């Protein structure tokens, strides 16, 4: 109950912040929560199961285009578009995971990167249909959820908060379940888990599909909430970002994704406001963190203060 209480308190604090802060910060917080949902999906694969992937931008972009293309071409409203995006991310993870999971370790990382790059090139190749690198704007009529426009600051934040809250609570329930223990067992010692009767391929594929669904939902939400879809979201940058968020906040912790996404967002904003070499400053902070807290901020908290932190 202590873990549930902490997570509900975090959600309440985020909700209060989004409703009380000015519109600029409310929009930023909505963007952070969507990216934190994406990072939470990545964390299930990497942080809890040990699947180091460089292809999650593919799942994010698959969800984005599965939601945005029907909205752009056929005028789908937000609710079915969001469901289509979630399914798009999950199906992409199922198709690619069934092949990529025949490898392991560095080979798995390289294979997922190759799949992601192929998907990004496909988006550029079919630019007449996808908008290519320039992308396209989502019609305003498709950015309505239950009669409310998602273009306004407060409804956009509430939609992002609801998506993140659902993802966070489901993640907490999942990692504390019996299957969550299977995920950790595969991360710690796959051969010993196999000896206990666990099928590593089936379990990892299930985790990857769940992770893809999370990522696809985040991609769909990003397109619908901010009104744009483009090929740049399928690039390698959007495979590295969730990894950085998770490493910064704490891999294998349910709250690490949102902490890492928030810190990285505002660190980048602060650094870019004081120097043109902002990437150097961001990189310096990350190096210091890796040296002194290699398991991330919440990983340090788990090791020193609260060993039961999920």
Whole-angstrom CA distances from 251 to 83, 136, 182 are: 28, 34, 17
Tokens 């939400």 appear where? 221
Give CA torsion, residues 200, 191, 240, 152, to 10 deg.
40
Q: pLDDT at position 66, please? A: 96
- pTM assigned to the model: 0.95
Distance from the Cα of residue 77 to its chain's centroid:
23
Q: pLDDT tens per residue, the chain (310 residues)?
A: 888 999 999 999 999 999 998 888 899 999 999 999 999 999 999 999 999 999 999 999 999 999 999 999 888 999 999 999 999 999 999 999 999 999 988 999 999 999 999 999 999 999 888 888 888 999 998 999 888 999 999 999 999 999 999 999 999 999 999 999 999 999 999 999 999 999 999 999 999 999 999 999 999 999 999 999 999 999 999 999 999 999 999 999 999 999 999 999 998 888 888 888 888 888 888 888 878 888 889 988 888 878 777 7
């Amino acid at each position: 109950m202590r873990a549930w209480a902490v997570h509900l308190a975090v959600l309440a604090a985020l909700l209060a912040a989004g409703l009380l802060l000015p519109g600029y910060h409310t929009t930023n917080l909505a963007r952070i929560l969507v990216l934190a949902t994406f990072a939470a999906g990545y964390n299930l694969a990497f942080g809890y199961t040990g699947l180091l992937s460089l292809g999650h931008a593919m799942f994010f972009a698959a969800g984005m285009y599965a939601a945005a293309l029907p909205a752009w071409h056929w005028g789908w409203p937000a609710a079915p578009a969001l469901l289509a995006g979630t399914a798009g991310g999950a199906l992409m993870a199922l198709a690619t995971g069934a092949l990529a999971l025949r490898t392991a370790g560095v080979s798995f990382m390289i294979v997922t990167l190759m799949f992601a790059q192929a998907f990004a090139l496909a988006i550029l190749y079919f630019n007449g249909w996808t908008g290519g690198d320039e992308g396209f704007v989502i019609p305003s009529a498709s950015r309505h959820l239950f009669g409310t426009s998602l273009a306004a600051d407060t409804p956009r934040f509430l939609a992002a908060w609801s998506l993140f809250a659902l993802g966070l609570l489901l993640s907490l329930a999942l990692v504390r379940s019996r299957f969550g223990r299977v995920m950790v067992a595969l991360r710690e010692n796959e051969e010993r888990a196999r000896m206990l009767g666990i099928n590593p391929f089936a379990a990892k594929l299930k985790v990857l599909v769940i992770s893809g669904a999370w990522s696809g939902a985040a991609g769909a939400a990003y397109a619908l909430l901010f009104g744009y879809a483009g090929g740049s979201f399928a690039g390698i940058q959007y495979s590295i970002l969730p990894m950085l968020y998770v490493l910064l906040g704490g891999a294998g912790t349910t709250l690490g994704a949102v902490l890492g996404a928030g810190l990285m967002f505002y660190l980048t904003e602060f650094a870019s406001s004081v120097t043109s070499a902002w990437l150097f400053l961001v990189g310096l902070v990350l190096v210091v963190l890796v040296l002194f807290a290699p398991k991330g901020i919440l990983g340090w908290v788990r090791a020193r203060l609260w060993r039961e932190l999920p």
